[in-house]
Amino acid sequence: MRFKDLPVSKKLVGVFTCILVVTAALGLFAVSSLSKMNDATADIATNWMPAIADLGRYEYFMTRYRVAQGNYVMATTDEEHAAQVKNLQIYLPQADENWNKYLPTVTTAEEKAMAEKIVAARAAYDPMQAKVEEILKTQGKDAAIAYFQGPMKAAFSVLIAAADDDMNFNQTSGKAAADKSQTVYGNARLLIFIALALAIAFCAAAGYALMRAISAPLRNMTTAMGELAAGNLQTHVPHADQADEIGQLAEAMTGFKNQLAAAERAKEEQTQVIVASIGAGLDHLAKGNLTHRVAAELTGDFAKLKRDFNEAMTRLQDTMKKVLGATTEIETGAGEISQAADDLSRRTEQQAASLEETAAALEEITATVKKTAANAKDASHSVTDAKAAAEDGGRVVETAIHAMDSIAQSSRQITDIIGVIDEIAFQTNLLALNAGVEAARAGEAGKGFAVVASEVRALAQRSSEAAKQIKALIQTSGQHVDNGVKFVGESGEALKRIVDQVLQINALVSEMAMAAEQQSTGIEQVNAAVSQMDQVTQQNAAMVEQSTAASRNLAGETKTLSNLVGFFAVGETARAAAAPKKPYARQAPQAPRPATGGARRVATSAASRAASAAPDSDWTEF
């Protein structure tokens, strides 16, 4: 029960914390196992493996050194000795270098002892080189070889054996480290599997507990809420005894259920009030009482209903008041319409009289216009005659021009002939002069001939003079003829212009005649229109009488309407305002009516109107 009472957040946090702890422990264990494996592998890689390699190389170079020593001892010439001494100097430092590389990897005490052994063997072997060189120099080659194969070989074997031991030790140690790493990996895998199984089991248990504690109660609550939503207010709300959020939710739901039930009851009461108050209002409306208003206190949408109802009543009341007012005005209007109809009738008669006068005047105009048309036709005939006369004049002028041209032609021919005569006179003169000259040359014998010649010359001169005079005369008459031609031409032009103008006059006069005829036709149409207007005016007079009767009927109907509207009670203030207005409105237009009616009766002498005027006055008193 303790877990059940915890809040949902704490439940969730607790379960997830446990899972986190298990996962973290598992992770830490795996990390430590991995680091152990890593240490072993690093030991193999940095300690044992390089030691084996360095020792191997050391041994190799020492062996080469030994071979070089052998060759040195065996050498026969000085060059070979020198070459081998060079080799010795190369190999020994290389062996020392590898040995120095190896020394840092010496870790354990056992290995240290082995290393010291190697150092000791080396210390024993190194001086032997000097000794063998000495033997070679002092005792000869064979003694040196014997020393090289004897004590020196034994010392070198000790050194190599010690190095091999050390190498074997390093190899064995590396393998031991690898085995150790393998073991650590196996243990760690087993432990991690166990821890994983435990974590899965724990998580499953926690999930089941959470489901029991949260999901199941929520499902029950959902079912209960569905019932409530369906309207079942008697539903039991489960899990109300729990102390967590679900318990709180159940309590809130119980409160909600109780509130819903209370609201249902309040709504029923409200409905009762609404039906009662609105029913009463509608009852008043049916009886025609528009002053009633709903006074009950209503809430929510029903308040709006009340407001709307009251507003509708107010509007209706106002409208009815206005209808009453309008009815009164309609009565007034009907009286005015009657009077206007009388006036209209009188004016219509005046109009008819004016129309008759108009018709008479139009007939006079028609006669005048017809006369004008006849005159225009006469003028047209006269103009045509004038035109013919002018055209005859034109022909005469043309003939005269032709005659003048002939004269001018003859004059020119005469001038030519005169020229010939003049020429003959000139030649004759010359001949006479020549004759005179001949006569003078002849002296006394030519005297008579000279006289004849001078006579001929005088004749020639006279004929020349005469020819000149005739030429001048002909030129003058030619000029006169030219002038005559010009003047006759001008008079011909003038006659042509006269003809043209006469033609224009003729066209204008014809147009005038046509226009006069059109006017005549138009005036006849106007006449017809006027008579039609006369007829229409008569019809209008009849219609005016009908409209007068109709306006009286309208007044009667308006009274009926007023009575009907009076059924509605529209409140004291409205009735007080409308009541005094009515009599004034009705009587004001009626007062002048008998006076105008009387005048009209005298003027028109219409019996029917006198008859209709009597009920009119009766109705006014009513």
Partner 1 sequence: MRDNESQGDDRQYITFIANGQEFASNIMAIREIRGWTDTTALPHVPDYVRGVINLRGMVLPVVDLKARLGLGMTEVTPKHVIIVINTGTRQSGLLVDAVSDIITLGAEDIQPPPDIMHCGGDNFIDGIAVRDGRMVTLLGIEGLTVTLN
The pair phi, psi for residue 150, each rounded to 5°, is: -90, -105
Of 10-18, 158-166, 428-436, 517-525, which part binds partner 1 (CB under 8 A)? 428-436
Cα atoms in the Cβ-side hemisphere of radius 13 Å centred on 113: 5
| Residue 446 within binding range of partner 1, rule CB under 8 A | no
Name the minimum Å distance from CB 458 to partner 1.
10
| Residue 437 within binding range of partner 1, rule CB under 8 A | yes
Of 335-343, 378-386, 423-431, 477-485, which part binds partner 1 (CB under 8 A)? 423-431
In whole angstroms, what is the distance from residue 332 CA to residue 588 CA?
Answer: 8
| Residue 440 within binding range of partner 1, rule CB under 8 A | yes
Q: Looking at beta carbons only, is 324 or 439 nearer to partner 1?
A: 439
> What is the torsional sign of CA 431, 432, 436, 438?
positive
| Residue 420 within binding range of partner 1, rule CB under 8 A | no
Name the minimum Å distance from CB 401 to partner 1.
36
Name the minimum Å distance from CB 433 to partner 1.
5
| Residue 94 within binding range of partner 1, rule CB under 8 A | no
In whole angstroms, what is the distance from residue 467 CA to residue 424 CA?
Answer: 10
Of 233-241, 310-318, 427-435, 531-539, which part binds partner 1 (CB under 8 A)? 427-435
| Residue 351 within binding range of partner 1, rule CB under 8 A | no
Q: What token pair was written down for 170?
A: 């390093």
Q: Looking at beta carbons only, is 187 or 427 nearer to partner 1?
A: 427
Residues 35-54 within binding reach of partner 1 (CB under 8 A): none
Q: Looking at beta carbons only, is 428 or 547 nearer to partner 1?
A: 428
Kindly write down the DSSP assignment for every residue of 310-341, as one continuous string.
HHHHHHHHHHHHHHHHHHHHHHHHHHHHHHHH
* The amino acid at 303: A
Which of 174, 335, 436, 597 touches partner 1 by CB under 8 A? 436
In whole angstroms, what is the distance from residue 596 CA to residue 309 CA?
Answer: 52
Q: Which alpha helices (DSSP H) does 44-127 contain, by range?
A: 49-74, 78-102, 109-125
One symbol per residue from 162 to 201: x for binding partner 1 (CB under 8 A), - otherwise; what is it?
A: ----------------------------------------
Residues 448-507 within binding reach of partner 1 (CB under 8 A): 450, 454
Interface with partner 1 (CB under 8 A), residue total 13
Residues 257-316 within binding reach of partner 1 (CB under 8 A): none
Which of 433, 536, 543, 565 touches partner 1 by CB under 8 A? 433
> How many whole angstroms from its chain centre is CA 600?
74
In whole angstroms, what is the distance from residue 446 CA to residue 448 CA?
Answer: 6
Of 10-18, 133-141, 434-442, 605-613, which part binds partner 1 (CB under 8 A)? 434-442
If residue 459 lies in a helix (H) or strand (E), which one and from where to where? helix 447-565
Which of 172, 427, 483, 521 touches partner 1 by CB under 8 A? 427
Cα dist. 574→251, 293, 312 in Å?
Answer: 62, 17, 17
Cα–Cα nearest to 108, from 172, 151, 58, 63? 172
Name the minimum Å distance from CB 459 to partner 1.
15
Is the separation of the CB atoms in 270 and 298 below 8 Å?
yes
In whole angstroms, what is the distance from residue 4 CA to residue 209 CA?
Answer: 10
Name the minimum Å distance from CB 430 to partner 1.
6
Q: Looking at beta carbons only, is 310 or 461 nearer to partner 1?
A: 461
Which of 60, 426, 449, 619 touches partner 1 by CB under 8 A? 426
List 569's β-bridge partners, or say none: 289
Of 169-177, 227-235, 273-281, 429-437, which part binds partner 1 (CB under 8 A)? 429-437
Which of 434, 469, 521, 617 touches partner 1 by CB under 8 A? 434
Is the separation of the CB atoms in 574 and 354 below 8 Å?
no
Exposure b/e, 322-349, CB count within 10 A at least 16 = b: ebbbebbebbbbbbebbbebbeebbebe
Residues that bind partner 1 (CB under 8 A): 426-427, 429-430, 433-434, 436-437, 440-441, 447, 450, 454
